[in-house]
Structure 1
Amino acid sequence: MKKTTFLRATLAAVVGLALQGAAQAADYPSRPVELVVPAAATGASDLSARVFAKYAEKLLGKPVVVVRINGEGGYKGSRSVHEDPSKGYRVLYTHQGLVANYLTRMAPYSYDGFKIGPSVVEDATLGLYVSGKSGITSIGDLLARARAKPGKLKAATEYGTISHFMFLKLQKEQDVTFRLMDTGGDAARLAALIGGTVDVMAKVYSGTQEYLQSGDFVLLGEPTGTRAPNAPHVPTYREQGVDFTFPPYLWTLFFSQNTPQAVVDTWTGIAREVTANPAYRKEIEALGMAWTYRSPEESTAAYADTQKAWAALAAGTAAVARQ
C-alpha cells in the first residue's frame, strides 16, 4: 500500500512539473530575452548576433538584447547561461569554442552541457594571415619557413579556443612547430600581427578586408574542402597542394538544462523563419559571413563530430606561451 502511495505521489510530482513547464512555455516570453555573446564587441560573434537578434525579436514579440560577456576564452559567457535559472530568458550564442574550452579543461562541460538549439550562421574562412612585409605569399611558403625554423615562428592564438585547435591540427598533420602565443581574441591578434610581435595569426575573413586591401596582411588561403561562399575568391589550401582542412565555425543557440523543451522549440521555429528571410541573409553576407540553418539534431551531430576529432589534439594544449 505504501509503495502504491509513493508511486502515485512520484507520478503526480512529475506530471506537476511537466504542467508547470508547459505553463511557463505558454507564457514565454513575458519579458525581454538576453542573447549572450561570449566574445568582445565588433567581432564576428557580436556582429552576427546583433543581426540575428534584430530579426528574431520581430517574431518573438519581445526585445532580444545582445549581452557581451567576454573573458576566459568564452567560458565566462557560457557559464552565465549554463548556471542561469531563468529557463530560457538567457540564451547562449556561440560556436565550437565550447568544445575547445572543455577539451583544454577551461570549462567542466562541453556542448552537451546545454540543451542544443538550431544553428543560424557559419563561417568557413578561418584562414592564416601573415604580414605583407614577410615575403610569405602562400601556405607552402609558410610551412617551408616553419620547417626551416622549428618553433621560431610566433603564431597568435588564444588558449582553449578554435584558433588554438587549428594550429594544433596544422602542426600535427604538416609536421611543423610554431611558437603558439596566447595573445587573446580577434582584436588582440590583429594588433599583434600589425605590430610585428607575431608572424602569423588565424582569423575569419570578416574584419580583415581593409588590411588585405592596404597590403598590411596577406591571406594564405582557407581551410575548407571547397571555397567558402562568403570568400569565393580565396583559394583553399588543397588548391595550393597542401592537404589541410578545418571545420567551419557554426554559430548555434544553446539553453540551460532547466529550459522547457517548448521554449527551445519556439527558438527553433524562429531560427528557421529568420534564416529563410532574404533580408537577414543579405545582412549576414554583408558581414563577410554565411547564413545557414541547421536543426538542433543536425547541430548536435556537428558538435559531436568536432569533439571526437579534436579530442586527439588535446594532449598538445600545453604548448602555448603567454604573450
Structure 2
Amino acid sequence: MNQKLRIKNWVAGACAVFITAMTHAADYPSQPITLVVPFAAGGMTDVLARQLAKTLQGEFKQPVVVDNRTGAGGVIGAEKVARATGDGYTLLVTTTAHVVNPAVTKQLPYDTEKDFTPIAMLARTPNVLVVNPTVPAANLQELLAYARRSGSLSYGSSGVGGTTHLSGELLASRSGAPLLHVPYKGTALALNDLLGGQIQASFVDALTAIKYVQSGKLRAIAVSTRDRNPMLPAVPTVAEQGVDGYETEIWIGFYAPAGTPPALIDRLNSLARTSMHEPVFVKLLAEQGTTPGELDAPRFREYVSAEIRKWGDIVRDAHIVVQ
C-alpha cells in the first residue's frame, strides 16, 4: 500500500512540475529580458546579441536589454547567468571562450555543463592562418616544410588559451611541425608584429583577416574550418591540405541557466535561428566571413559538449599550463 502511495505521489508531483513549466512557457515573458554579453560593446558578440534582442523584443513585446558584463575572458558575465534563476529572463550570449575556459582556467565559479542549458548557435566563423608575404610558402605543406627546415616557425595569437593559440597547437600536434607560439594581449598587437615581420604567421579570425588578405598585406595559407569560407573561396582548409580531421572555429552561442523549461528553450532556439537568418543580417554576416547557425537545441547541446571535450584534449596534449 505504501509503495502504491509513493508511486501515486511521485506521479502527482511530476505532473505538477510539468503543468507549472507549461504554464510558465505560455505566460513568458511578463517582464524585461536581459541578454548578458561578457565582452565589450561593438564586437561581433555584441552585434549578434543586439540583433537577437531586436527580434525577441519584436516577438515578445517586452524590453530586451543587452548587458555588457566584461572581464576574466568571459567568466564574469557567464557567472551572472549561471547564478540566475532558470526562468528565461537572464540569458547569455558568448563566444567559444565559454567552452575553452574549463580547460584553461583552474577554478571557474561555475560548472560549464551543469550550470547552463545551451539554446542555439548564433553564428560561426573560421580562424585563418595568415603569413607575412616574405615567408616563402604559398600553401600549408610548403609552410610546414619551411618550419621543419628552419627549426621553428613563429606564430602569434591573441593570448594564451584562446582559439587562435589553440588552433596553432592543434596544427603542431597533428602535423609534427615545430611551431613556436608567441602570445600577445589581443589580436591587434599580434597583427602589428606580423605585418612588421617580427613574427612569421598567425591564426586570425576571418572578420579581421579578410581585409588584410584582400589588400595583399598578408597571405592566407588555410582556413581552420571543415569547409572553405565564401569570402575566401580560393583558400583551402587545413584538412584539405593534408592534416586529416583538423577543424577549429570561432562561434557565438546562446545559453540559459540550468533548469530552464525545455519548451522555452525550443521556443528561444527557433527565434534565435529566425533572427540570425533575416536576409539583411545574413548579408552583413557574409560580408564578414561569418555564417548563421543552423542547429536545433538538442543538436547544439551535443555540439557544446563535444567542443568542451575537444578543447580540453587540445590543451592537455599541448601541455598548456592552466591559469
For normalisation by structure 2, the TM-score amounts to 0.81
Counting only pairs closer than 5 Å after superposition, residues 248-259 of structure 1 correspond to structure 2 as 248-259=249-260
Q: Secondary structure at the match of 2:299?
A: helix
Rounded Cα–Cα distance in structure 1 between residues aligned with 2:254 and 2:233? 27
Please name the residue that 1:50 is paired with. 50
Deviations 1:236-263 (A, max 9, x none): 2355455562143343211101323333
Rounded Cα–Cα distance in structure 2 between residues aligned with 1:192 and 1:26? 54
Please name the residue that 2:100 is paired with. 100
Query: One-letter code of the match for 2:65?
Result: V
Counting only pairs closer than 5 Å after superposition, residues 160-175 of structure 1 correspond to structure 2 as 160-175=161-176
Rounded Cα–Cα distance in structure 2 between residues aligned with 1:70 and 1:137? 39
Counting only pairs closer than 5 Å after superposition, residues 293-308 of structure 1 correspond to structure 2 as 293-308=294-309
Rounded Cα–Cα distance in structure 1 between residues aligned with 2:19 and 2:186? 44
**Of residues 99, 116, 128 in structure 1, which corresponds to 2:118?**
116
Counting only pairs closer than 5 Å after superposition, residues 5-20 of structure 1 correspond to structure 2 as 18-20=18-20
**Cα 1:319–1:274 shift into 2, 3 Å:** closer
CA contact (8 A) 1:157 1:201 kept: no
CA contact (8 A) 2:194 2:202 kept: yes
Rounded Cα–Cα distance in structure 2 between residues aligned with 1:154 and 1:272? 35
Rounded Cα–Cα distance in structure 2 between residues aligned with 1:231 and 1:35? 32
Q: CA deviation at 1:267?
A: 0.4
CA contact (8 A) 2:223 2:236 kept: yes
Deviations 1:32-60 (A, max 9, x none): 32222333444332333333333343223
Rounded Cα–Cα distance in structure 2 between residues aligned with 1:134 and 1:69? 40
Q: Secondary structure at the match of 1:227?
A: coil
CA contact (8 A) 1:48 1:287 kept: no
Q: CA deviation at 1:169?
A: 1.0
Counting only pairs closer than 5 Å after superposition, residues 225-236 of structure 1 correspond to structure 2 as 225-236=226-237
Query: One-letter code of the match for 1:30?
Result: S
Q: CA deviation at 1:135?
A: 4.9
Q: Secondary structure at the match of 2:206?
A: coil
Please name the residue that 1:281 is paired with. 282
Q: Aligned pair 1:219/2:220, yes or no?
A: yes
Between stretches 186-195 and 53-62, larger displacement belongs to 186-195
CA contact (8 A) 1:157 1:185 kept: yes
Rounded Cα–Cα distance in structure 1 between residues aligned with 2:154 and 2:216? 21
Identity of aligned residues (%): 25
CA contact (8 A) 2:270 2:296 kept: no
Listed as ranges, the gaps of 5+ residues in structure 2 are none
Query: One-letter code of the match for 1:74?
Result: G
Query: One-letter code of the match for 2:254?
Result: L
Query: One-letter code of the match for 2:58?
Result: K
Q: CA deviation at 1:116?
A: 1.6
Q: Aligned pair 1:181/2:200, yes or no?
A: no
Counting only pairs closer than 5 Å after superposition, residues 67-106 of structure 1 correspond to structure 2 as 67-85=67-85, 87-106=87-106
For normalisation by structure 1, the TM-score amounts to 0.81
Q: CA deviation at 1:62?
A: 2.6
CA contact (8 A) 1:96 1:303 kept: no
CA contact (8 A) 2:102 2:312 kept: no
Q: Aligned pair 1:271/2:272, yes or no?
A: yes
Please name the residue that 2:38 is paired with. 38
Q: Aligned pair 1:142/2:143, yes or no?
A: yes
Q: Secondary structure at the match of 1:313?
A: helix
Please name the residue that 1:210 is paired with. 211
CA contact (8 A) 2:229 2:289 kept: no
**Cα 1:188–1:58 shift into 2, 3 Å:** farther
Deviations 1:97-124 (A, max 9, x none): 322111224535334541121223222x
CA contact (8 A) 1:90 1:255 kept: yes
Listed as ranges, the gaps of 5+ residues in structure 1 are none
Deviations 1:177-217 (A, max 9, x none): 33323424444544453465543321221133332344332
Query: One-letter code of the match for 2:66?
Result: V
**Cα 1:89–1:198 shift into 2, 3 Å:** farther
Cα RMSD (Å) of the superposition?
A: 3.4
Runs of 4+ in 1 over 6 A off after TM superposition: 1-13
Rounded Cα–Cα distance in structure 1 between residues aligned with 2:239 and 2:11? 58
**Cα 1:241–1:85 shift into 2, 3 Å:** closer
Please name the residue that 2:25 is paired with. 25
CA contact (8 A) 1:120 1:252 kept: yes
